[in-house]
């Protein structure tokens, strides 16, 4: 016995070639392009548009009026065959915009699993977003941005192109991020600066007291001791080498290209 097809509102427009799992639901006046693939248990709300070479995994929810897979807002884009790849369990709220990549940036904009994109948030071309991140209303990534796991971006915050944000970081509302934000840190302000550690977030994500103590020590040495960065890193590798939470921080700060917010 064949399985029933997707649940499609009669006013939805599904282009020939689109691949929708039989459990997908598509609401009124939604538009699905010919190169789109949507996985099991996902839904696309009224008036939403999913286009381009876009793949959505399982159990994603695209809310009304979202724009997923449009071409980049980049004048260098010349129609090349690039893609947007989205994992599982994401919520893409109203008027969110997620764009495909460019040939100059690797060709793929990639989003992980279980992220929340609140209304009017934006992920530009070639950006890479991890898992379980929260983009509050109006949070914006320029092109080529890398965002680690468990990152929170406050409302109306913006991140400059080619900037990295480390795992478990917290970007305050309205922050303008122009340099790399290390893992575990809070950043705030116009030309954002570090304002301490995201202790509450780390506790919520299961960091033990011993791990928190090591992260606090590493933060003090890196950003409060006034030691040169190379000397601070050497000291921490000697004291805490092999501790995964410290190694993650040191690996991030020693591979920065834009420089670190301090």
Check 126, 138, 144, 168 and give the catalytic one.
126
For CA atoms 78, 135, 96, 64, the dihedral sign is positive
Which residues, at least 6 apart from 134, have a Cβ–Cβ distance to it below 8 Å? 115, 116, 118, 151, 152, 153
Angstrom distance (rounded) from CA 22 to CA 212: 46
What are residue 134's DSSP bridge partners? 116, 152
Q: Radius of gyration (Cα) for the chain, nearest Å?
A: 20
Check 122, 125, 144, 168 and give the catalytic one.
125
126 is a catalytic site residue? yes
Check 57, 87, 143, 166 and give the catalytic one.
143
What are residue 61's DSSP bridge partners? 43, 91
Q: Which two tokens stand for residue 209?
A: 């007291």
Which residue is associated with the tokens 């033990």? 208
Cβ proximity of 154 and 172 under 8 Å: yes
Q: Any idea what the Cα angle at residue 139 is, between residues 134 and 145, rounded to 5°?
A: 85
Catalytically active residues are 125-126, 143
């Amino acid at each position: 016995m064949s399985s029933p097809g997707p649940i499609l509102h009669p006013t939805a427009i599904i282009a020939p070639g689109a691949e929708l799992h039989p459990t997908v639901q598509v609401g009124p006046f939604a538009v699905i392009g010919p190169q789109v693939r949507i996985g099991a248990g996902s839904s696309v709300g009224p008036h939403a548009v999913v286009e381009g070479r876009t793949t959505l995994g399982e159990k994603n929810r695209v809310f009304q009026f979202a724009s997923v897979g449009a071409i980049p807002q980049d004048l260098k884009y010349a129609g090349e065959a690039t893609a947007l790849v989205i994992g599982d369990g994401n919520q893409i709220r109203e008027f969110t915009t997620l764009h495909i990549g460019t040939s100059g940036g690797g060709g793929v904009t990639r989003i992980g699993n279980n992220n929340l994109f609140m209304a009017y948030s934006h992920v530009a071309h070639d950006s890479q977003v991890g898992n379980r991140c929260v983009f509050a209303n109006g949070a914006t990534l320029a092109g080529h941005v890398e965002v680690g796991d468990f990152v929170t971006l406050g409302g109306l915050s913006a991140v400059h192109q080619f900037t990295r944000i480390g795992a478990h970081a917290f970007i305050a509302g309205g922050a303008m991020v122009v340099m790399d934000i290390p893992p575990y840190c809070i950043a705030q302000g116009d030309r954002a600066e570090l304002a301490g550690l995201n202790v509450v977030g780390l506790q919520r994500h299961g960091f033990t007291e011993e791990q928190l103590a090591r992260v606090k020590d590493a933060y003090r040495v890196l950003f409060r001791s006034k030691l040169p960065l190379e000397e601070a890193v050497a000291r921490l590798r000697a004291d805490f080498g092999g501790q995964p939470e410290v190694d993650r921080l040191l690996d991030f700060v020693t591979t920065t290209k834009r420089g670190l917010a301090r």
